[in-house]
């Protein structure tokens, strides 16, 4: 290894990579995070919902547990991060209202509510009138809803800026450089190969490059993390002076969601598209998102459209993240967070830092073993 050496080098400076770097640093390790454009990935494109209960899906029990635990960690994580960085993250304990536009939607919400109750989640079924009492800006035709008091939001871009600041203030080196590969010698990962023929030595390397995590050189084919980009388009709007807030809480229909920030900005999202690494914003998506938001909250037409965004979620074969040892000594993986990476940032960071310091993967991360797909593919389980 020709270049400098660290205890930990993290590849990827999205929310996940930076948070891992910061938590390793607070445990006393010498850390570098490498990323040519920190924040330019999914982290900057997200809506920032922290929504384990509204996002629950059948057959994802372990993931639900992980998401709930991370949501519980959020207040403490945010407090520590805001102190360490001197910046606000826009964490807002607003709750989330799921609403049905019509009878069909309401039947679907009825099924979701039954499932959420079966899981013992904190949910309340509401009639249309009760939804309107909570959110007077809703379309008067709203048929019913589910109120989820514990599903909140954070301003994902402010979170990212706070993580960069906390890292830099605490002595993490955030290097604006691209990793081209991992350096594997004698069966162990010794560090990271950078652009311009540079290398960084590392006792432990953490691969946290989001949907690009499968594109680095140096890993044997069977251990390359099976992540893929899942495109999501969303809109940023702003409430002009004199117009009342569109909503107080996150409002979700079955097709779109509306996330109101405390300062009048509003995010409307999101498409879910299998389009490879394409990040084109399409007129059709803008039309669908605005129409969907209008059906829930007609006042959206009064808002200023300030930005259209397309980002790439790091999807995995089972929609759950890949967290822990890669199968190569000295290399850990922290990616594949798909739709919940902002929510899962605190638990990922704590869990990976713990795995590095204690040399043992904490129990909560065990179901997310990165080699679970490989083992199955070669018939080991
Ligand atoms: C439209 C949309 C809406 C979303 N909404 C939510 C939401 O409401 N709540 C939620 O919890 N999650 C949401 N997500 C998902 C969430 O954004 C992701 O799961 C999360 O941001 C993943 O973070 P990450 O750090 O792993 O990846 P990213 O943020 O993608 O970061 C990866 C980083 O790796 C860097 N990189 C790539 N290649 C290299 C290389 N060779 N060398 C060095 N660095 C490299 C990139 O520059 C990038 O900065 C949403 C995603 C999208 C797209």
| Ligand 1 atom with minimal separation from the 211 CA | 30
Please indicate whether residue 54, judged by its CB atom, sits closer than 6 Å to ligand 1: no
% the chain with pLDDT above 90: 94
The answer on pLDDT for 83 being more than 50 is yes
% the chain with pLDDT above 70: 98
Please indicate whether residue 11, judged by its CB atom, sits closer than 6 Å to ligand 1: yes
Q: Which of 9, 46, 50, 346, when mutated, tests ligand 1's pocket best, judged by the most ligand atoms within 8 Å of its CB?
A: 46
Please indicate whether residue 234, judged by its CB atom, sits closer than 6 Å to ligand 1: yes
β-pairing, 265-269 vs 228-238, is antiparallel
- Any alpha helices (H) in the chain, and if so which ranges? 15-26, 42-45, 61-85, 103-118, 128-134, 156-170, 283-296, 345-358, 372-377
The answer on pLDDT for 73 being more than 60 is yes
Q: Which domains does the chain have, with CATH numbers?
A: 5-51+157-227+317-373 (3.50.50.60), 93-151+229-315 (3.30.9.10)
Burial of residue 179 (CB within 10 Å: 0-12, 13-18, 19+) is: buried
Ligand 1, atom 2, lies closest to the CA of: 46
pLDDT for the residue numbered 374: 79
Q: Which of 313, 345, 368, when mutated, tests ligand 1's pocket best, judged by the most ligand atoms within 8 Å of its CB?
A: 313
pLDDT for the residue numbered 3: 81
Which one, of 224, 260, 205, 222, lies nearest residue 94 by Cα?
A: 260
Confidence of residue 1 (pLDDT cuts 50, 70, 90): low
Ligand 1, atom 31, lies closest to the CA of: 14
pLDDT for the residue numbered 59: 86
- The rounded Å distance from CA 341 to ligand 1 centre is 7
The answer on pLDDT for 377 being more than 80 is no
* Residue that the structure tokens 């490498």 belong to: 34
- Assess contact for 142 and 128: CB atoms under 8 A: yes
- The rounded Å distance from CA 15 to ligand 1 centre is 7
CA distance 20 to 23: 5
Both structure tokens of 292:
């969907």
- Assess contact for 52 and 67: CB atoms under 8 A: yes
The answer on pLDDT for 381 being more than 90 is no
Q: Using the 8-state DSSP alphabet, how is residue 206 labeled?
A: E
Could you report the per-residue pLDDT of 157-207, keeping only the tens digit for each? 999 999 999 999 999 999 999 999 999 999 999 999 999 889 999 999 999
Q: What is the mean pLDDT of residues 295-322?
A: 97
Mean pLDDT for all residues in the chain: 96
Greatest CA span in the chain, whole angstroms? 68
Please indicate whether residue 37, judged by its CB atom, sits closer than 6 Å to ligand 1: yes
The answer on pLDDT for 270 being more than 50 is yes
pTM over 0.85: yes
Both structure tokens of 232:
């999501």
CA distance 8 to 353: 10
CA distance 246 to 227: 36
Angle at 117 between CA 133 and CA 336, to 5 degrees: 100
Inter-CA distances, 164 with 22, 82, 86, 159, 183, Å: 9, 11, 11, 9, 26
Which one, of 77, 82, 14, lies nearest residue 50 by Cα?
A: 77
Please indicate whether residue 191, judged by its CB atom, sits closer than 6 Å to ligand 1: no
Q: How far is CA 157 from the centre of its chain?
A: 12
Both structure tokens of 371:
């080699």
- The rounded Å distance from CA 319 to ligand 1 centre is 14
CA distance 28 to 339: 31
- Assess contact for 239 and 303: CB atoms under 8 A: yes
The answer on pLDDT for 67 being more than 50 is yes
Q: What is the mean pLDDT of residues 297-309?
A: 98
The answer on pLDDT for 379 being more than 80 is no
Please provide residue 320's backbone torsions phi and psi, each rounded to the nearest 5 degrees: -110, 155
* Residue that the structure tokens 């020709």 belong to: 2
Please indicate whether residue 15, judged by its CB atom, sits closer than 6 Å to ligand 1: yes
| Ligand 1 atom with minimal separation from the 180 CA | 41
Confidence of residue 380 (pLDDT cuts 50, 70, 90): very low
Peptide bond into 270 cis (omega under 30): yes
- The rounded Å distance from CA 210 to ligand 1 centre is 5
Q: Which of 67, 209, 271, 348, when mutated, tests ligand 1's pocket best, judged by the most ligand atoms within 8 Å of its CB?
A: 209
CA distance 140 to 94: 22
Q: Which residues pair with 311 in a beta bridge?
A: 232
DSSP secondary structure string, 43-72?
HHH---EE-TTTT--TT-HHHHHHHHHHHH
pLDDT for the residue numbered 378: 45
Please indicate whether residue 314, judged by its CB atom, sits closer than 6 Å to ligand 1: yes
| Ligand 1 atom with minimal separation from the 270 CA | 1
Q: Which residues pair with 325 in a beta bridge?
A: 332
The answer on pLDDT for 212 being more than 60 is yes
- The rounded Å distance from CA 106 to ligand 1 centre is 33
pLDDT for the residue numbered 197: 87
């Amino acid at each position: 290894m020709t270049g400098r050496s660290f205890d930990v080098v993290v590849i990827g400076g999205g929310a996940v990579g930076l948070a891992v770097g910061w938590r390793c640093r607070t445990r006393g390790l010498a850390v570098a995070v490498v990323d040519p454009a920190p924040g330019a990935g999914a982290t900057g494109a997200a809506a920032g919902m922290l929504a384990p209960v509204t996002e629950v899906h059948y057959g994802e029990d372990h993931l639900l547990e992980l998401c709930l635990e991370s949501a519980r960690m959020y207040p403490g994580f945010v407090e520590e991060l805001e102190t360490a960085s001197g910046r606000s993250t826009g964490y807002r304990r607003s709750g989330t209202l799921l609403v049905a536009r019509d009878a069909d939607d309401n039947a679907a919400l009825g099924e979701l509510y039954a499932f959420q109750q079966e899981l013992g989640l904190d949910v309340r079924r509401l009639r249309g009138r009760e939804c309107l009492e909570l959110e007077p800006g809703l379309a008067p035709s709203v048929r019913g809803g589910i109120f989820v008091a514990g599903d909140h939001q954070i301003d994902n871009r402010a979170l990212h800026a706070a993580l960069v600041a906390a890292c830099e203030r605490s002595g993490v080196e955030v290097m604006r450089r691209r990793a081209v590969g991992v350096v594997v010698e004698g069966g162990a990962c010794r560090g990271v190969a950078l652009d311009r023929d540079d290398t960084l030595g590392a006792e432990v390397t953490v691969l946290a490059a989001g949907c690009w995590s499968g594109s680095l050189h140096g890993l044997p084919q069977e251990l390359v993390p099976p992540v893929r980009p899942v495109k999501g388009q969303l809109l940023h709007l702003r409430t002009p002076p004199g117009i009342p807030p569109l909503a107080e809480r996150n409002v979700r229909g079955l097709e779109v969601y509306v996330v109101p920030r405390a300062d009048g900005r509003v995010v409307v999202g999101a498409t879910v598209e299998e389009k490879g690494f394409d990040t084109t914003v399409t007129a059709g998506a803008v039309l669908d998102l605005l129409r969907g938001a209008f059906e829930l909250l007609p006042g959206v037409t009064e808002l200023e459209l300030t930005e259209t965004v397309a980002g790439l979620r790091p999807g995995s074969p089972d929609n759950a993240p890949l967290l822990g040892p890669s199968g190569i000594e000295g290399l850990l993986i922290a990616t594949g967070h798909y739709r919940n990476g902002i929510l899962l940032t605190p638990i990922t960071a704590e869990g990976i830092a713990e795995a590095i310091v204690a040399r043992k993967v904490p129990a909560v991360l065990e179901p997310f073993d990165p080699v679970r797909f490989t083992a199955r593919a070669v018939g080991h389980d």
